[in-house]
Amino acid sequence: MKMHNPPHPGEVLKELCIEPLGLSVTETAEALGVSRKTLSALINGRSGVSPEMAIRLAKAFDTSAESWLNQQVQYDLWQAERKARGLKVRRLSAA
């Protein structure tokens, strides 16, 4: 089931994982084994959750990698569908 206007996974990460634990971006980045710049880009919606990052997040926050990837797919699909409204595509079918 598609979510209506899903949040970016970085927003979820910040609001449900980082802030409740009272962690800084620097502390979280160190724990994840990534640069502060990399984590900041994710949190601020400038980058997405890669499979590797999903595994890091799953290990750090005792979640599943699949949940992080599913959030990213839902967000990306919602954004793409909004942009695709003006696309001119001809339906193809077998004769």
Which residue is it, tokens 């620097």? 26
Cβ atoms of 48 and 76 within 8 Å: the answer is: yes
pLDDT digits (tens, 9 = 90+) for 51-82: 999 999 999 999 999 999 999 999 999 999 98
Q: 9-79: CATH homologous superfamily? A: lambda repressor-like DNA-binding domains (1.10.260.40)
pTM of the predicted structure, to 2 decimals? 0.89
Q: Is 85 or 24 the better-scoring residue by pLDDT?
A: 24
Greatest extent of the chain over all pairs of C-alpha atoms, in Å: 61
Res. 91: pLDDT tops 60: yes
Sketch the domain layout of the chain as residue ranges. 9-79
pLDDT digits (tens, 9 = 90+) for 34-55: 999 999 999 999 999 999 999 9
Q: What is the pLDDT of the chain when averaged over all its residues?
A: 95
